[in-house]
Structure 1
Amino acid sequence: MRKSIVSLLLVYLFVALTKPVLGQQRTQFLGLTAGLSPLQLKDRFRSEYTYRGAGLGLQVYYGQNRLKTQWQLEAAYSQVSSQSIVSRRASTQLGDLLFTYRWRLSSTSRQENRFAFFGGPGLHLFSTTTNYSPDIDVKTVVTTGIAALGVSAKATYQLSAKQSLEGQGFVSALSGVYRPDYAYFGRDKLAVSWLGKNPFLNAQLSYQYQLSKQLKAIGIYQLTYFHYDKPRPVTGLTQSVRLGLQRTF
């Protein structure tokens, strides 16, 4: 009887000591992807026509997963050659920086549950710099910079032991846009927008295949859309199709 009580106490002590440790377990991951980046850009200061084109893009991301929380920082850069139906070819550079912090909103108690859902705040910085006359001495460069604070959501589904799908999205709640100072249009350089007006949206779908214990192959489709009326109307739609690798450690 005494041995049974001691055994139960030891089991209880082991569970009590290991439970907080398990709750703090974490994994870190680092990924690199590259691929094609199509672009549609309509800058009404420059032209009423839409510039369309495609180029190459590179993305790197780093993050950390815990039992109930996760965060991720990703940066991307693309160089795109675009043209409208009435213009010469232009050169556009795209910069993208996104930070998200999310809480797990689905249950963690059921190990067989293949679906997980996360939500939380996010900060998105985005820029486009277009040289509308890259092949002549007189160059016209227009830069648009966007800073958006909003809501981020993510869902994952485990297809099998080695395959999984992941979708995530971001929508702005408060954003600011910088546009150049055009003398004959006024000196308005910065405009601020609230939820529901002048949207800034980002969505991403990825497929992951486990190559080894620490290495995954990644396929990603990403879309970013924005529209701002001030200081001068501009609308953009960027897409990316990329392949790469992700390492967990």
Structure 2
Amino acid sequence: MSDQVRPPVTGWRRWSAYLALTVVFAVTCGLLSWWQWARRAETAAENQRIERNYDAEPRPIDELLPRLDAWDDDDEWTRVELRGEYLVDEQLLVRNRVLGGQPGFEQLVPFLLDDGVVVVLDRGWLPLGNGEHALPDAVPAPPEGEVTVVARLRGAEPELPGRTAPEGQIPSIDVGSIVDELGIEGYTASYALVASEDPAVEPMPAQRPRPEEDEGLHISYALQWISFGVLAFVGLVWAYRREKRIAALPEEERAAARAPKRRHDDADAEDAVLDRLG
């Protein structure tokens, strides 16, 4: 019996293309994994800010913000104590604000400090009313005269180009534009969420709950993307070895080896039973 010549494994260009696609896929998975790690780091930093600042003793605002346009993300949620009076006639409603899954508004009222500088304060959330224009049924009035406010600092929101709103409403808490409209010096890179007022008044807008300190599933997603990238190479190696094994078979057996195996259905199982029974 003469030795049969086995055909070599061919298609190196095809397998090079498969390898290139696998590398691209693995790199993409690596980038997505890195993005999830970065998201996790951002979430962890935010949780640390909340833990450090949310219930800390109130501090003077000029100690945290030495300039009117100053802002540092590390100061977010820090409590400040403010003394002055509300500019009630300048209050605004911020549209499209959601609390507990319900749409509504945020009530913004500029607060004139004793030194003549304005801070934009967010007094809380108001639900949509039943009126024709879906405005709040009532907008609670701030306390009059001299008021002491404890509030938590937040960074100003960006302007939303092309977004408009009816008079007395705004689409975002773009503090710089609000202060410019007032024509008074004020803090332009931050605003503050009211935590308490003295004297206190009723009713008050709804206060937002403390942010949840949860890192989410970023680590799990990051590890999943890494595993997808590794599995892509495992699959490529398995496919190459299978192709190499099939190429070593006699020519008449290769087509059958490459053909997908047909799944047995119930009829096949019944036929097999009948065959055994004769």
TM-score category of the 2 structures, normalised to the smaller one:
under 0.3
* TM-score of the superposed pair, with normalisation by structure 1: 0.24
* TM-score of the superposed pair, with normalisation by structure 2: 0.22
Between Structure 1 and Structure 2, the one with more helix by share is: 2
Which of the pair has more CA radius of gyration? 2
